[in-house]
Amino acid sequence: MKIVIDGMGGDNAPYSVVEGACMAVNEYGVDIIITGDEKIIKEELNKYDCDKSKIEVVHTTEVITNEEKPVTAIRRKTDSSMVVALKMVKDKKADVVISAGSTGALLSGGVFIIKRIKGISRPCICAGMPTMEGGFTLISDTGANVDCNKQNLVDFARMTDIYAKKVLGIDNPRVALGNIGTEDGKGNALVKEVFDELKGMDGINFIGNMETREILNGVCDIVICDGFIGNIIVKTMEGSVLSLFKKLKEVMTASTKSKIGALLMKGELKKLKELLDYSSYGGAPFLGVDGGVIKAHGSSNAVAIKNAINQGIKFYNGNVLEEIRNFGGLDEQ
């Protein structure tokens, strides 16, 4: 198996990408292709000690930025590090593509270049939210599909369930429907329809409706929702945690007394902050396209890149694509 990384994507590219790739070669013995500016990438590679025969650099001349319109960028910048990486998966030269670059462009590229798996109504970008217990909860879609129908959400449930089992190693993932109340019959028209479908679905451990206030407490493994709601959940949670930590910092420096108090609690608070650091929870898989696509955080450091590569390895070894193709084929019949 081979993993291709968009060498120029992300805030710290290509530096963290190259460093993370070297770490992954040492740790997992995986074969890696890095796309991007050959000169800079090779210079960076020289800084690290690993089996360089495992890393191939493919030179590209263009870079897609976050400011560009995703679809236009993917169509026009055919020699960009991202498009070339996506094409390698399309052409079976690599099994999984990882990028810390523009999310929009990666999703568009996933659909336009790699293409949807037959029978899957819509692919979804599924991200893990840290919980207070140290684990995390998957949000089925965090922005790929802002307008969904019943079938889309049902497909998200199947795909995230497979991912949780095969990549995260969760035996019997607890699948919940993101809602505004826990009782049956709660929610808007779409959510009510989806509830009935999930309830009757074989092979899924559907535990019912869940209020989003519970997510941080780790009461389920997967929350099913459309990309608009998912994005609202992730950003509201992230914003609340960040704002609260910012305010805590103010509180801690408000008086000499509290400054001393803060100093005494420093170690514990740091642990808590790390626990809730969204960027350390690996990348988000784009499920439903016919190849492995993992979006790493834009601010990924080398360890985050290494973790995303490990995720890619598990994605391949877990046979996730084949599993998704199988049920996609079922729906098609």
Whole-angstrom distance, CA of residue 187 vs CA of residue 146: 17
Nearer to its own copies, 44 or 226 (CB): 226
Place of tokens 């070894």: 317
Q: 119 or 298: whose CB is closer to its own copies? A: 298
Q: Which is nearer to its own copies, 140 or 311 (CB)?
A: 140
**How far apart are the C-alpha atoms of 308 and 11, rounded to whole Å?**
16
Nearer to its own copies, 172 or 258 (CB): 258
CB of 283 to its own copies, least distance (A): 19
Rounded to a whole number of angstroms, the minimum distance from the CB of residue 192 to its own copies is 9
Residue 45 Cβ vs its own copies, minimum distance, rounded to whole Å:
36
Residues that bind its own copies (CB under 8 A): 132, 143, 146-147, 178, 180, 187-189, 191, 211-217, 226-229, 231-233, 235-244, 246-248, 251-252, 254-255, 257-258, 260-265, 267-269, 271-272, 276
Q: Please give the Cα distance from 224 to 208 (Å, whole number).
A: 10
Comparing CA positions, the residue from 66, 89, 92 lying closest to residue 8 is 66
Token digits for 237?
């949670």
Work out the angle at residue 162's Cα, subtended by the Cα atoms of residues 209 and 21, and round it to the nearest 5 degrees.
Answer: 120
Nearer to its own copies among residue 161 and residue 226 (C-beta): 226
Alpha-carbon distance of 88 to 154, in angstroms, equals: 30
- Minimum distance between the CB of residue 227 and its own copies, rounded to whole angstroms? 8
Tokens of 146: 């802002």
Kindly state the smallest distance separating residue 188's Cβ from its own copies, in Å: 4
Tokens of 10: 């992300």
